[in-house]
Structure 1
Amino acid sequence: MKDNICWFCGEAIELNDERAVRITLENLMRTTDAIQTIASHADCARVRLIGATMMFDPEVLSD
């Protein structure tokens, strides 16, 4: 089985990386089952997912 690849940096995500995240995208305005899912290292997502009024915090997803 191929390792997951981080969508942002292109590097492999280790199978034991418990902080890695799955990001699911879907059309906001249409009701459809079509989605796209991408994998990311938590730190890559934290650095890249900075919005105008909020930031992604991977720690919220930790146990």
Structure 2
Amino acid sequence: MSVKPDGPAIRRIRRAQMMSLRSLQALTGLNRGYLSRIERGLIHESADQRVRTIANALQVKPAAITQEEKT
């Protein structure tokens, strides 16, 4: 299953926690380039588990860093 990550929200939360992209990489095990592309909005869909991993590292609910489908 894939979800739409909200890159700017991820960046805002990460920066508010004074966390570097390298630190987020270390916490999630995800590639730093991949995380950067998500934050810049270049990745429009991501695996649900990856988004959950990012949310856990940021200590927020997945809904805080995903976009709702607008119909």
TM-score (norm 1): 0.31
Task: Flag the structure with larger Rg.
Answer: 1
Report which of the two has the higher share of strand.
1
Report which of the two has the higher share of helix.
2
